[in-house]
Amino acid sequence: MFKKFERAYKPAANASFSHRPFTRKKSCRFCADKVLKIDYKDTRLLRNFVTEKGKIMPRRVTGNCAYHQRKIAKAIKASRNIAIMPYISLNV
């Protein structure tokens, strides 16, 4: 995995061969900013980690580290339980 990212930063030789030319290495938002807190009542933050239909997005899309992805998934599930977040949203 790591080698792939390195290749993406130096597109000189392999640019025509690589299948994903613009893979950028994502960094975990919560590791970078330690003031950010994961709260299950904070919908504004949790909306970023959910698709339009209301599914939880995978780690390879959001770029979270494993620790924070676990926390986010739990927070979303808790907020679904008390009807703050939808299980499925059909209208969007």
Partner 1 sequence: MKNNIFADINHNFSRKYETVIIINPDLDDSQYNQFVEKIKGIIAKEGAEIISISDWGLRKLSYEIKKISKGRYIVVHFLAKSNVVAELERNLRNTEDCLRYQTVLFTNDLESSKEEAVNV
Tell me which residues touch partner 1 (CB under 8 A): 37-43, 78, 80-87, 89
> 7 vs 71, which CB is nearer to partner 1?
71
Phi-psi region for residue 43, left (φ > 0), alpha (ψ -120 to 50) or beta? alpha
> 23 vs 81, which CB is nearer to partner 1?
81
Q: DSSP letters along 74-92, please?
A: HHHHHHHHTTSS-S-----
d(CA 38, CA 23): 27
> Please, what is the minimum distance in Å from the beta carbon of residue 60 to partner 1?
25
Taken as a whole, the chain contains a residue count of 92
> Please, what is the minimum distance in Å from the beta carbon of residue 45 to partner 1?
11
> 12 vs 82, which CB is nearer to partner 1?
82
> 27 vs 43, which CB is nearer to partner 1?
43
- Closest residue by Cα to residue 26 from 4, 11, 10, 47: 4
